[in-house]
Structure 1
């Protein structure tokens, strides 16, 4: 008997399809994500990349297929329940509270503040302060805790939003073009950050910057017209004739 068994993927997407007025934005997609993995999804515009994230986080409803996250079927769950189950999502534009300090932005994202009365009777406990400081250090903002968010650079705002998700300690973190508009040094720091935060969780990233993809990806998934075109290491994907034809060749 073979005693070695593969750990179950954290996320299993099977047969995922969504049609908008007969147009299949995502078409019979299968995707499996393991713990400690940074998966990057690439593909030309209109390939369905952002729609896949919308489907996983419940913003868009699937027409067919199943999204299994740790044994829960996300296609049947409300958006806020999906967040509670451990899925964190960062959109392309950072949604931070510009008038609040870095500390306050992080503090507001602490799960206890999420309940209806939680935000009103929220105690700034030692536990919360410790968590805020720990996350601030992870996202390179330890020295900016008491600065208002509007004074941060574009890259620092992106990190703050990642930090706000980390406060909730999600098991799956989804990021849509996290390094768009960042400086070269900020990109390098972001690569370091993503590798570090994938320890003990899964990270799913949509990205166009190939150098950045190369520096972070455990595995790359290429989408084209809502379908899976190729999957594997960055090197394998980059040398795949189909991928070069539809995507990298442009």
Structure 2
């Protein structure tokens, strides 16, 4: 059996029922340090529900979610964030009226507690960190631009940056390249490869070319259950996956 301590995230027997319907049914998977795990599957397979369960937005009916050995199922959403799990939703939630710099600065962890927010000063450490993240997310030249002026892809990067500045050890991204141009998708793949040098990433995605570029391991879901798991080559050649997903 897997050693718990070896994994950043251990999901075991995870189930959630809504009025008797099991949206997620006895799902187990394990994410290692510095791994990019991608969950794929047809619409309604339970992919986004898995993220909702991990970040505490939805409570599981049964099963276990351990982050670095710590049980998450009993924690509130903000406690899960503080534990080191960050999540980006499908639609970018950024402050359109603020500059790129201000968006990143607002997410800087020092301002999280009320007292921290009241005493927050823009010191050199904050400025350095904002600059470092802005360079990483390809927005160094846009720091003084209003976020409303960014392209759709750049807004997605900004939101990833707002998570990165909080330094989570597990970053969860729901369809990060939806609506992006081909060149933006390539840059996003490069960005994810870079950020997994010191953290793990869990991605839900439909774009198979993008999945091929980034995934260390792929979990295929169907009707709330794990259908197949392994390398991209493995799941692409799995007859069950071809039948229910890739064949359509």
Q: Deviations over 1:175-199 (max 9, x none)?
A: 0000000000000000000011011
Distance 1:224 1:162 in 2: 28
Deviation at 1:154, TM superposition (A): 0.3
Deviation at 1:117, TM superposition (A): 2.6
1:101-140 to structure 2, matched below 5 A, reads 101-140=99-138
Partner residue of 1:161?
A: 159
Correspondence for 1:213 among 189, 211, 216: 211
Please state whether the residue corresponding to 1:119 is helix, strand or coil: helix
Distance 1:7 1:185 in 2: 38
Q: Which ranges in structure 2 are unaligned for 5 or more consecutive residues?
A: none
Deviation at 1:141, TM superposition (A): 0.4
TM-score of the pair, normalised by structure 1: 0.97
Deviation at 1:89, TM superposition (A): 0.1
Q: Deviations over 1:8-53 (max 9, x none)?
A: 1110000000000000000000010001100000000000000000
Deviation at 1:120, TM superposition (A): 2.5
Partner residue of 2:83?
A: 85
1:134-153 to structure 2, matched below 5 A, reads 134-153=132-151
Q: Which ranges in structure 1 are unaligned for 5 or more consecutive residues?
A: none
Does residue 1:182 correspond to 2:185, yes or no? Answer: no
TM-score of the pair, normalised by structure 2: 0.98
Partner residue of 1:75?
A: 73
Contact kept in structure 1, 2:4 and 2:69, CA below 8 Å: no
Partner residue of 1:27?
A: 25
Distance 1:6 1:178 in 2: 29
Does residue 1:202 correspond to 2:200, yes or no? Answer: yes
Contact kept in structure 1, 2:97 and 2:146, CA below 8 Å: yes
Deviation at 1:118, TM superposition (A): 2.1
Q: Deviations over 1:45-73 (max 9, x none)?
A: 00000000000000000000000001211
Partner residue of 2:43?
A: 45
Q: Deviations over 1:156-187 (max 9, x none)?
A: 00000000000000000000000000000000
Partner residue of 1:64?
A: 62
- Over the residues paired in the alignment, what is the CA RMSD in angstroms? 1.0
Distance 1:6 1:164 in 2: 30
Please state whether the residue corresponding to 1:10 is helix, strand or coil: strand
Residues paired across the two proteins, number:
246
